[in-house]
A and B are shown apart, each in its own frame.
Chain A
């Protein structure tokens, strides 16, 4: 059972573009929604996170938009750079457990 659905599976943008990655969830008990970034051969690393009582959070070029009523949240990367090319995972936390989306492989072309 996939509790967090992520799309698209892959994404290609030009440098300076704004890739958007979307996630949806069903379980209203989730109380924290982080995004992780993973480079090849490395473990996932926390990028940015949001609580469900906040509609938007910005950290540098990364923004999370959160729609509690629709049970959806998304990651926007402003002024994307080739160094942002990685796999991005959304996740949802309930108690001690993180449930991850399937991941989005982002490629930013120079």
Chain B
């Protein structure tokens, strides 16, 4: 069974450009999470969805960040305009049920984003 699929794996772009990261969760999973990983701040939850509905976006750093989940098999995280401090590895994860320890989160391999 395919795991969580993220694209692109690497993205290098100039400051001010719009960046769109994509995620395909594991089929049948109802919850989707976006994380950011940096050396300074570690792994931070940005936003999560249940059944395609955003539940908690308190981790989204500012209005330049937005996330959507138009259907159960696709989500995007968009940064507009991008800034050098947004450089990080962005992970998407999915689970069968949010908050249920019996259903752990499965992570994709991430998108390494570099903003020049």
Contacts and interface: CB of A to CB of B under 8 A. Distances in A.
A97 B108 CA distance: 17
B42 A100 contact: yes
B42 A95 contact: no
B42 A93 contact: no
B82 interface: no
Interface string A24-36: 0000000110101
Interface residues of B, number: 23
Contact of A96 (B43, B44, B50, B108): B50
A98 interface: yes
Nearest to B93: A43
A41 interface: yes
B110 A96 contact: no
B61 interface: no
For chain B, what secondary structure do more than half of its interface residues adopt (helix, strand, loop), or is it mixed?
strand
A45 B93 CA distance: 10
Contacts of A45: 106-107
Interface in A47-79: 49, 51
Interface stretch (B12-20, B63-71, B96-104): B96-104
A96 to B, nearest CB: 4
10 contacts: A42-B110, A43-B4, A95-B99, A96-B50, A96-B99, A97-B99, A98-B45, A100-B43, A102-B42, A103-B42
Interface of A: 31-32, 34, 36, 41-46, 49, 51, 89, 93, 95-103
